[in-house]
């Protein structure tokens, strides 16, 4: 039988992910040379903050069962599993965000990074969907829907930026 994570663990991971995105967008906004780019990053930071608040509100809805139906995660095993799953740019921390924001010299590169980040996040939560109790899957599916909205928004922005480049 596999490791099962609690809904609270999934929400904490989702919140941490939003904080990482928020940090990146704030730093990118600080470094933006063009006003429209600064507005874009500020807007994306606002979206990350809104998702963080929404995910934190999920904690109030979670009712942990008195006795789990499936085998709960061992804390050591949980840590190793999450470390293996996030051994990429999802949770690399503040120093990585500073470096990435510095590389995001234009809107296109920042949006491409953000799309990659959101896609990695989406894949992570799809994988984690298999690792939560069946009763907690709707919550993880809701997190997935929110992450998909990030991807849709960024894809629209990328398309706008590409059409601006084509017109220039």
Q: Is residue 14 a part of any domain in this protein? A: yes
Contacts of 27 (CB under 8 A, 6+ apart): 97, 98, 100, 101
The 10 Å CB-count burial string (b at 16+, else e) for 131-162 is bbbeebbebbeebbebbeebbebbeebbeebe
Quote the CA–CA distance of 69 and 4 in Å, as a whole number.
Answer: 10
Please state the domain count of the chain: 1
Does residue 1 fall inside a structural domain? no
Q: What is the pLDDT of residue 66?
A: 53
2 within some domain:
no
Residue found under tokens 């510095």: 102
Please write the tens of the pLDDT for every residue from 98-154. 566 666 667 787 788 888 888 888 888 898 888 888 888 898 899 899 889 889 988
Taking the CA atoms of the chain, what radius of gyration do you get in angstroms? Answer: 17
- Residue 138, in any domain of the structure: yes
What's the confidence (pLDDT) of residue 49?
95
The domain in which residue 97 lies consists of 7-167
Q: What is the CATH number of the domain that holds 55?
A: 1.20.1260.10
Find all residues with CB under 8 Å of 71, minimum gap 6, and list them.
Answer: 1, 2, 3, 4
Q: What is the Cα–Cα distance from 118 to 112, expressed in whole angstroms?
A: 10
> pLDDT tens digit string along 54-87?
989 988 888 766 545 555 556 666 666 666 655 5
């Amino acid at each position: 039988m596999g490791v099962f994570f609690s809904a609270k663990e999934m929400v904490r991971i989702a919140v941490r992910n939003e904080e990482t995105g928020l940090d990146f967008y704030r730093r990118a906004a600080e470094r933006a040379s063009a006003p429209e780019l600064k507005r874009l990053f500020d807007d994306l930071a606002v979206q990350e903050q809104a998702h963080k608040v929404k995910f934190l509100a999920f904690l109030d809805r979670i009712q942990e069962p008195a006795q789990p139906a499936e085998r709960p995660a061992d804390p050591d095993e949980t840590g190793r599993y999450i470390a293996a799953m996030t051994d990429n740019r999802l949770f690399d921390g503040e120093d990585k965000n500073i470096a990435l924001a510095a590389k995001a010299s234009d809107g296109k590169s920042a949006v491409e990074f953000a799309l990659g980040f959101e896609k990695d996040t989406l894949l992570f939560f799809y994988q984690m969907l298999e690792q939560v109790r069946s009763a907690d899957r709707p919550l993880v599916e809701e997190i997935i829907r929110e992450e998909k909205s990030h991807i849709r928004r960024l894809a629209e922005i990328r398309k706008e930026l590409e059409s601006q480049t084509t017109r220039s």
